[in-house]
Structure 1
Amino acid sequence: MTDRRPLTLRTDVTPNRLQELPAGDQLPPDTLANALAVVLQGLVTNNNAGITAADTVLQALGKLQAQSTNKVDKDGSKVLSDNNYTNAERVKLANIGDSASNDRSKHTGTQPLSTITGIVGVGGVIERGSNSNGDYSKFADGMLICTQRIVCGFDTANTLKGIWNFPVFFSRNARISAQIVEGGAAIYKPLNIITYGQSTGVVGFLVYVPEGGIGASDVVNLDLTAAGYWS
């Protein structure tokens, strides 16, 4: 097989035709210009896959154009993200009203009551809970009721003593009521219940037995209620 020599396009004849150059001849100076002027007929620009060695020049140009069309320009100091922010999401955010975050019906989970203002209501329970210090109910009108049972143990021959830490704090001192429910020998004697050291978070109790005779093992259980306000 003999080596093939370069071909040149003869435009000086009709019809135009390709002609193999004789050995030693050079391409005419207008050959490159003619090649650059060829129309890219059949160019496909919807395939942005990577260019491979098997691609033709026309296929490679089409892929390059598709990759360029689909690229995302960097905007100043902003960086690209793996999360796609769609136009539908943009419209959804744009349609959220300024007061939407104030709609409690759309809130989930828990939120500290102290962070909520403008509660509407005349007395319905808005929060109820319990912990090791007792049970509590908060009402829309600001009322707070706490309950607990405590044990008052030996203090002196005339007194038994107990402390109640409220399950939640009151905004000011609450009204306290106490009822004896069970106990040792001291429950059968005349006695008085005295509160002391009360604050918005705690109250102390002395069960006073005028006749004395309280033993070291005597106890009295008290059912307690505190009624006041949380706001």
Structure 2
Amino acid sequence: MKGRYSARYYLPDKIDRATIEDIIDAANSAPSGTNMQPWKVHCVSGAFKDALVAEMVEAEKNHLPYQARYTFHPQILPPEHAARRFEFGQVFFGILGIERDDVAAREAEVTRNYEFFGAPVALIFTLNSELRQGSWMDLGHFMQNVTLAARARGLESLSVPKYDELVRKHLPIKDDELVACAMSMGYPDLEQTARHYARPVKRPLEDVLEIHGM
């Protein structure tokens, strides 16, 4: 788990269908409240993925108002969380050599999210729109399982939220389903990763854990 990272550089090698099915089958053992298993996954690749990517990139470049159907972050973050996000931005853009005032370069890097960073496969996760926070936590368990199952097979991944309406144009998603997140997946380009990735600082254990009565 400590070796996990957000992969933004992938090899063009294809992933076979059996591997994807194996990953999702393993991840499907995730816990869920009262065994509701609220998750659904759409796997896209090839020309199908390329058509979706082209439309998402066009929307991003033209600043079209397509968004996720939920609020990912509040407009004003609590100070400690805002500080961590600022620190991440410094590390992330710093190793890429992108200055804070270089808006064009920053936007170009952000756009790579909607290209799924060149990964050969993208997974789209949905759940029923009437479900509440408990089911979102269940979905998180499932997605973490997907990430770990992929790593066990030599694959890496990165999750990306946004563009609910555009995704619906390409997939048979029911009206009562909500697009929660997408995930790029592929075999990592380790050479590019070594050049362009810096691991974000994680909180120390004493900041995360409080033990009582032990």
Q: TM-score range by the shorter chain?
A: under 0.3
Computing the radius of gyration over CA atoms, which structure comes out larger, 1 or 2? 1
Normalising by structure 1, we get a TM-score of 0.20
Normalising by structure 2, we get a TM-score of 0.22
Higher relative contact order (CA 8 A, sep 6+): 2
Give the number of the structure whose residues are more often helix, by fraction: 2
